[in-house]
Amino acid sequence: MRLAVAAFLPFESMEFSLSPELRDLQARTRTFIDEIVIPAEPRLPRDVSDWVDLRGELQDAAKQAGLFAPHIPQEYGGLGLNWRDCAVIFEEAGRSLLGPQALNCAAPDEGNMHMLEKIASPAQKEKYLRPLAQGKIRSCFSMTEPNGAGADPNLLKTRAEYRDGKWIINGRKWFISGAIGASYTICMARTQATDGRPQTTEKRSGATMFLVDADNPGFRIVRHVPTLDLGWPGGHAEVEFVNCEASDDAVLGAVGEGFEYAQVRLGPARLTHCMRWLGAARRANEYAVKYANARESFGKTLAEHQGVQFMLADSEIEMHAARLMIWHAAYLLDQGDKARHETSMAKVFVAETVNRVIDRAVQICGSHGIAEDWPLALLYREHRAFRIYDGPSEVHRMSVGRRVARRALAAK
Ligand SMILES: Cc1cc2nc3c(=O)[nH]c(=O)nc-3n(C[C@H](O)[C@H](O)[C@H](O)COP(=O)(O)OP(=O)(O)OC[C@H]3O[C@@H](n4cnc5c(N)ncnc54)[C@H](O)[C@@H]3O)c2cc1C
């Protein structure tokens, strides 16, 4: 079925049906999550450094099932799906918080893989992308800073200066997901200062990305930051770069292009978060529907009370709308469009939808929603940060609103 979809302004033609191959992959992923991954949830590590065995075991199972690394090109051992197809598979994987780990499509590695594939040199791809794609190592992405880069990345304070034929990086970052146990980090540093080296562009940003190995003597994990969410493999860490030396080979892409590359990473990465989290909302809703049909109150089941029906309806409507927004933005990315407007709109809507759907599921399930026996309490804690990372909702609303206003002015 082909439908016309209103994109930013022009009308686009978008395919909604799933190919038989994708339907098969979707069904196999669903079965894998139900039969292999969900039964492993009681073993979910509570310590951020205690992930190696479970992650490795689930990834081996995913490889055997032919489901590993759906987003990665086949030459790096993945399935080579486009974004639109990834949307379907990531949603299935996201039904369990362990699913994306099993398929090696979890953040931050998944976003880093995409950026490396687009930007890294052939030698960097061999050293950093291939083992990451195979699940042999983990990585992290170092952008956010205490009192520096945050919702506004232009506040970036970390600096890299070019001295005596090498880069010297100094700065502190925090909330760096996966840092503990990662083999390397991609560090965003300002290189605009007069560093004796010509910039490739005149961009105001003047930031550059560096590949920094975890065993670099100038790189240090300062602490694990305890958070509302579990933190997952490697937690969210505060890290520092102190006279951290990096060679020219460690520059990812071109000097001065860091903010451009951040968009290469974050555009799809914020959408893939939406894909995975939609699966988590679906899972929470599955519990709500099952409980509402089984539990009686005041002479009928919960599902027969209009108040509960309205909650179930709102979740169904919002998840459907969320899925369509994700598919549309993914479709545009597949056409080579940066889809900044659409990924921003999707990020706001899906993050807030996930928030509401999980909250309703907790409410419908009563005390079961709060107990750790079911995954609802875990999902409730895990989802909250999604409205903050990869751009807080307010910042995406600001970007969308600005474009809307500019579009109106341009049309005059
Ligand atoms: C769980 C988690 C994982 C993360 N992982 C990583 C990671 O791996 N690597 C990394 O580099 N960073 C990571 N981050 C950091 C994340 O990207 C930042 O938290 C985010 O960019 C916001 O920055 P900040 O926390 O400094 O908030 P601030 O910049 O202090 O903003 C605080 C709040 O102010 C409001 N605000 C800001 N600007 C505006 C505006 N223009 N209009 C209206 N309101 C506004 C928003 O509500 C925002 O939440 C992670 C964060 C979390 C919570």
Chain segment 39-69, per-residue pLDDT in tens: 999 999 888 888 889 999 999 999 999 999 9
Question: Candidates 395, 397, 402: which one to mutate for ligand 1, based on the most atoms within 8 Å of Cβ?
Answer: 395
pLDDT of residue 47: 85
| Residues recorded for the chain | 412
Under the banding of pLDDT at 50, 70 and 90, the label for residue 10 is very low
Residues 277 and 342: beta-carbon distance below 8 Å:
no
d(CA 14, CA 235): 39
Chain segment 26-35, per-residue pLDDT in tens: 999 999 999 9
| 220 three-class SS | strand
Q: Is the CB of 234 under 6 A from ligand 1?
A: no
Q: Is the CB of 232 under 6 A from ligand 1?
A: no
Cis peptide before 10 (omega within 30 of 0): no
Residues 110 and 270: beta-carbon distance below 8 Å:
no
Q: Please choose, from the candidates 70, 18, 82, 21, the residue with its C-alpha nearest in 3D space to the C-alpha of residue 336.
A: 82
Supply the angle between the helices 109-119 and 258-294 in degrees, to the nearest 10.
Answer: 150
Number of helical (H) and strand (E) elements in the chain, helices listed first: 13, 12
d(CA 10, CA 21): 31
Q: What is the DSSP string of 370-389?
A: HSTTSTHHHHHHHHGGGGTT
Residues 168 and 409: beta-carbon distance below 8 Å:
no
Under the banding of pLDDT at 50, 70 and 90, the label for residue 13 is confident
Q: Is the CB of 177 under 6 A from ligand 1?
A: yes
What residue's CA is closest to ligand 1, atom 17? 389
In the reported structure, the alpha carbon of residue 388 is separated from the centroid of ligand 1 by a whole-number distance in angstroms of 5
What residue's CA is closest to ligand 1, atom 39? 395
| 309 three-class SS | helix
Q: Is the CB of 236 under 6 A from ligand 1?
A: yes
What residue's CA is closest to ligand 1, atom 11? 143
The pTM of the full predicted model, rounded to 2 decimals, is 0.94
Chain segment 246-281, per-residue pLDDT in tens: 999 999 999 999 999 998 898 899 999 999 999 999
d(CA 344, CA 385): 16
Average pLDDT of the residues in 368-390: 96
Residues 70 and 79: beta-carbon distance below 8 Å:
yes
Ligand 1, residue 387: give the atom nearest the CA: 49
Beta carbons within 10 angstroms of residue 136's beta carbon: 11
Average pLDDT of the residues in 403-409: 95
In the reported structure, the alpha carbon of residue 263 is separated from the centroid of ligand 1 by a whole-number distance in angstroms of 16
Residue 231 — left, alpha, or beta (φ > 0 → left; ψ -120 to 50 → alpha)?
left
In the reported structure, the alpha carbon of residue 64 is separated from the centroid of ligand 1 by a whole-number distance in angstroms of 38
